[in-house]
Amino acid sequence: MHYLLTIAMLVCVSPSLFAQDAAGIIKKVDDNMISETQIMVSEMVIHGKRNNRVVTSKGYSEGRFKSFTEYLAPDREKGIKMLKLENNLWIYSPSTDRTIQLSGHMLRQSVMGSDLSYEDMMEDRKLMDMYNAKVTGEEVIDSRKTWVLQLNAKVDDVAYDSRKIWVDQERYVPLKEELYAKSNRNRQWPCYGGSPLKEELYAKSGQLLKKTVMSDIKKIDGRWYPTTLNYKDMLKDGKGTDFIVKEIRFNEPIPEYIFSKASLKK
Amino acid sequence: MKLAIHLAYKNLMGAGLRTWLNAGVLSFAFVFIIFYNGLIDGWNKQASIDSIHWEFGNGQLLHGAYDASNPFSIPDGHGILPKSAQANLTPILIRQATIYPQGRMMSVHLKGIDENQSVLKLPTHLLKKSTANIPVIMGTRMANTTNTRVGDEMLVRWRDNNGTYDATNVTVVGIFETNVPNVDVGQLWMSIDKLWEITNLGQHATMFIANEHYVHQNIPGWRFENQAYLLRELTEIINMKKTSGAILYILLLTLGLLAIFDTQVLSIFRRQKEIGTYIALGMTRWQVVRMFTAEGGMYSIFATILGALYGIPLLAYFSKTGIGFEITGDEFGIVMAERMYPVYGLRLIFGTLLLVVLSATIVSFLPARKISQMNPVEALKGKLQ
């Protein structure tokens, strides 16, 4: 009898334990992925139907609201610069010597034919500020043990109503992420233990919109960071877009002039 | 004057082929002016009617923050109009969305409209009778671009009032054909109730379409644009087309008038003895000038008759069958039917007639003025003056 009671108590208590853990996990993920400042040289490999394009860029970012990117290669894109301040995005094109501001629907357009939208690039709030998390299971990805976390929006103004992330149990780095739309309320999720979770928990989970797979995790400046990311717009055909971090520096001071409109034409 | 006209007629008929060549050239200009303007008027009439029936109704009441020419204004350009002010108005809510036809990505406008409306020709009754989860209708251009047929499902992604992504399949329950690309290209039409539901924007509207009973009263935060204002761009295009067309027919008319002018100069030079005789017989110089002017002016009458002979059946034929153009107005976003039917109004016909007669008379008078300075004795002798 005592044995049965213990099992029953464990079954009741375990979800709250998972919930408590989940908050700690995403905090650690945020700590790993988000820094005060970031200077990064990266390559974006855009997989087309016939061939692939590689776009190299150097990006500077400070906090949530400031970022500046300059495209270095190929020649066609070289010199294009993007500046994000708060919710505004400006793009400078050297061929026309003009700066245009993107807003509204244009922000949802893809960046240089990739699976990333300008809006995706602008979205950099901390997960813990936007979502309530719950551990729903454990999986092994590329020999790494991961927690599967279900994230449901706790604020209204989020782009994706729910997310599912697979977090490396040792390094606290996401190895896979799925972003979902609101609708399709009949969907049920497989969960820890194999049985479906309660409908109300995932009532808002809907159409899978985007999927990101992170790999080549490296320890940089004392933190684990994925250096290869594959973004895939799940509604579109194709192999998605690879984002390869060639060089990254965290928490280095960035001169203020970088985040000014004047720097676009420099 | 009767004698002048009689003599002018005799002289012109006596000149034979030369007269008919002049009249022929002038008649071509005459017919062309009527045809070209008729074509433009026909386009104007058809485009105005189509725009009113498909897009403008009896005017539009727009949210103050919405600007039809600025897509950036769509996200915030909507609001709730008090129920008391909604009489004789049909609400339309516009939201931006993305569709994925055959795995491709396309930006579109989701337009929600009252499915019971009758102010626009959009077949919204199809939305009403459909049992699909989210039924939509689209124009043929949109259907061709997305390779869609009635009954097809299409994945749509949009954002709700908080900016959160949502996505689901919609079912195409109707494809309509219209000459108005503004209600077709890049648009999906659905029931406004459905759009309110999926975007959490209940009772919000971007604009209202007025019916013929609507009487506008000032409503803060909203602005009314009447038919004339909404049609202004079309009117500007039509006027621009008329001006550019005028260059061509002014050139043609000039050729015709130049031929008359030359003929008149030659006549006066060669018929000096005749002029002297008229004066010797008692006609005043100005009576002779009038006679020669009437002669020149009569070319325009002949041109009118000649033009009517071949122009009436030709123009009537085009008016009935229309003229097909390879290009459509889609790429320019202007309303233009595949076939245009010229419209020839009385004002156009009589205006052109008056223009041709007046201009022919003026160019005839200019060389004839020389007669008033002639010495009749020298003229009788046939001496060059």
Q: Can you tell me whether residue B66 is helix, strand or coil?
A: coil
Whole-number pLDDT of residue A10: 43
Residue A243 domain-assigned? no
| Residue B179 shares a structural domain with residue B45 | no
Are A156 and B165 in contact (CB < 8 Å)?
no
| Residue A54 shares a structural domain with residue A183 | no
| Residue A226 shares a structural domain with residue A150 | yes
Q: What percent of chain A has pLDDT over 90?
A: 33
| Residue A231 shares a structural domain with residue A134 | yes
Residue A244, H or E segment = strand A241-250
How many CA atoms lie less than 13 Å away from A167 in the CB half-sphere? 31
Are B74 and A105 in contact (CB < 8 Å)?
yes
| Residue B43 shares a structural domain with residue B92 | no
| Residue B84 shares a structural domain with residue B164 | yes
Distance between the two ends of chain B, CA-based, in angstroms? Answer: 26
| Residue B135 shares a structural domain with residue B238 | no
Average pLDDT value over all residues in chain B:
86
φ, ψ at B312 (rounded to 5°):
-60, -50
Q: Judge whether residue B293 has pLDDT over 90.
A: no
Q: What is the ipTM of this complex?
A: 0.73
B chain contacts of residue A238, beta-carbon cutoff 8 Å: 103
| Residue B22 shares a structural domain with residue B168 | no
Angstrom distances, CA of residue B296 to CA of B257, B305, B362: 10, 15, 9
Find, in chain B, the residue whose alpha carbon is nearest to that of A102: B72
What average pLDDT does this structure show over B3-30? 81
Are B72 and A103 in contact (CB < 8 Å)?
yes
Binned at pLDDT 50, 70 and 90, residue B276 comes out as: confident
Q: Judge whether residue B61 has pLDDT over 90.
A: yes
Q: Between the ranges A53-67, A79-93, B78-92, B335-349, where is the mean pLDDT highest?
A: B78-92
The tens digit of pLDDT for each residue in B103-157 reads: 788 889 999 999 999 999 999 999 998 888 899 999 999 999 999 999 999 989 8
Are A108 and B74 in contact (CB < 8 Å)?
no
Q: Judge whether residue B316 has pLDDT over 60.
A: yes
| Residue A62 shares a structural domain with residue A86 | yes
| Residue A24 shares a structural domain with residue A149 | yes
| Residue B42 shares a structural domain with residue B91 | no
| Residue A169 shares a structural domain with residue A224 | yes
Question: Which of A124-128, A161-165, A240-244, B311-315 is the least confident region?
Answer: A124-128
| Residue A42 shares a structural domain with residue A102 | yes
Q: For the stretch A158-197, what's the b/e string if a residue is b when 16 or more beta carbons lie within 10 angstroms of its beta carbon?
A: bbbbbbbbbbbeebbbbbbbbbbbbbbeebebebbeeeeb
What average pLDDT does this structure show over B12-35? 84
Residue A47 domain-assigned? yes
Whole-number pLDDT of residue A202: 34
State which residues form the domain around A43: 37-115+251-265
A chain contacts of residue B194, beta-carbon cutoff 8 Å: none
| Residue A165 shares a structural domain with residue A86 | no
| Residue B207 shares a structural domain with residue B260 | no
Higher pLDDT, residue B271 or A205: B271
Are A161 and B166 in contact (CB < 8 Å)?
yes
Instruction: Say what the pTM is.
Output: 0.75
| Residue B220 shares a structural domain with residue B247 | no
Higher pLDDT, residue A211 or B337: A211
| Residue B310 shares a structural domain with residue B197 | no
Q: Judge whether residue B374 has pLDDT over 80.
A: no
A chain contacts of residue B98, beta-carbon cutoff 8 Å: 108, 235
Are A236 and B74 in contact (CB < 8 Å)?
no
A chain contacts of residue B96, beta-carbon cutoff 8 Å: 104-105, 108
What average pLDDT does this structure show over B330-341? 72
Domain count, chain B: 2
Cα radius of gyration (chain B): 32
**Tokens at residue A71, please?**
């495209």
What average pLDDT does this structure show over B91-95? 95
Are B167 and A183 in contact (CB < 8 Å)?
yes
B333 DSSP assignment: T
Q: Can you tell me whether residue B346 is helix, strand or coil?
A: helix
Q: What percent of chain B has pLDDT over 90?
A: 34
A chain contacts of residue B103, beta-carbon cutoff 8 Å: 235-238
Question: Look-up: residue for tokens 């067309």?
Answer: B245
Q: For the stretch B146-168, what's the b/e string if a residue is b when 16 or more beta carbons lie within 10 angstroms of its beta carbon?
A: bebeeebebbbbbbbbeebbbbb
| Residue A160 shares a structural domain with residue A205 | yes
How close B108 comes to chain A (CA, Å)?
10
What average pLDDT does this structure show over B334-357? 83
Which of B180, B208, B225 is the last residue before a domain boundary? B225
| Contact yes or no for A196/B68 (Cβ under 8 A) | no
| Residue A204 shares a structural domain with residue A156 | yes
Q: Judge whether residue A4 has pLDDT over 80.
A: no
B chain contacts of residue A209, beta-carbon cutoff 8 Å: 157, 165, 167
Residue A120 domain-assigned? no
Q: Judge whether residue A22 has pLDDT over 80.
A: yes
Question: Which of A140-144, A252-256, B124-128, B286-290 is the least confident region?
Answer: B286-290
| Contact yes or no for A163/A179 (Cβ under 8 A) | yes
Whole-number pLDDT of residue B343: 87
Which of B225, B246, B278 is the last residue before a domain boundary? B225
Whole-number pLDDT of residue B382: 67
Binned at pLDDT 50, 70 and 90, residue B162 comes out as: confident
To probe the interface with B, which of A100, A183, A187 has the most B CB atoms within 10 Å?
Answer: A183
Are B166 and A206 in contact (CB < 8 Å)?
yes
Are B71 and A104 in contact (CB < 8 Å)?
yes
What average pLDDT does this structure show over B46-59? 92
State which residues form the domain around B289: 2-52+233-381
| Contact yes or no for A83/A62 (Cβ under 8 A) | no
| Residue B205 shares a structural domain with residue B315 | no
Whole-number pLDDT of residue B326: 67
The tens digit of pLDDT for each residue in B208-258 reads: 999 999 998 889 999 999 999 999 888 888 888 888 877 877 888 888 888
To probe the interface with A, which of B70, B166, B197 has the most A CB atoms within 10 Å?
Answer: B166
Which of B178, B196, B225 is the last residue before a domain boundary? B225
Alpha carbons B37 and B253: distance in angstroms, whole number: 14
Binned at pLDDT 50, 70 and 90, residue A189 comes out as: very low
| Residue A149 shares a structural domain with residue A22 | yes
Domain count, chain A: 2
Q: Judge whether residue A217 has pLDDT over 50.
A: yes
What average pLDDT does this structure show over A31-42? 88
Alpha carbons B194 and B79: distance in angstroms, whole number: 17
Per residue, what are the HEC states of A176-240?
EEEEECCCCCCCCCCCCCCCCCCHHHHCCCCCEEEEEEEEEEEEECCEEEEEEEEEEECCCCCCC
| Residue A49 shares a structural domain with residue A64 | yes
Q: Judge whether residue B331 has pLDDT over 70.
A: no
What are the beta bridge partners of residue B159? Answer: B165
Whole-number pLDDT of residue A106: 65
| Residue B261 shares a structural domain with residue B352 | yes
How close A133 comes to chain B (CA, Å)?
18
Q: Judge whether residue A204 has pLDDT over 70.
A: no
**Tokens at residue A16, please?**
């709250």
B chain contacts of residue A237, beta-carbon cutoff 8 Å: 102-104
Least CB–CB distance from A209: residue in B96, B107, B167: B167
Residue A241 domain-assigned? no
Binned at pLDDT 50, 70 and 90, residue B90 comes out as: very high
To probe the interface with A, which of B69, B165, B194 has the most A CB atoms within 10 Å?
Answer: B165
Least CB–CB distance from B164: residue in A159, A184, A207: A159
Whole-number pLDDT of residue B210: 95
Q: What phi-psi label fits residue B241: left (phi over 0), alpha (psi between -120 and 50 degrees) or beta?
A: alpha
A chain contacts of residue B71, beta-carbon cutoff 8 Å: 104-106
B chain contacts of residue A158, beta-carbon cutoff 8 Å: 162-164
Binned at pLDDT 50, 70 and 90, residue A188 comes out as: very low
Contacts across the A-B interface (CB distance below 8 Å): 79
What are the beta bridge partners of residue B15? Answer: none
The tens digit of pLDDT for each residue in A154-184 reads: 888 888 889 999 999 999 999 999 999 887 5
Q: Judge whether residue A103 has pLDDT over 60.
A: yes
| Residue B25 shares a structural domain with residue B84 | no
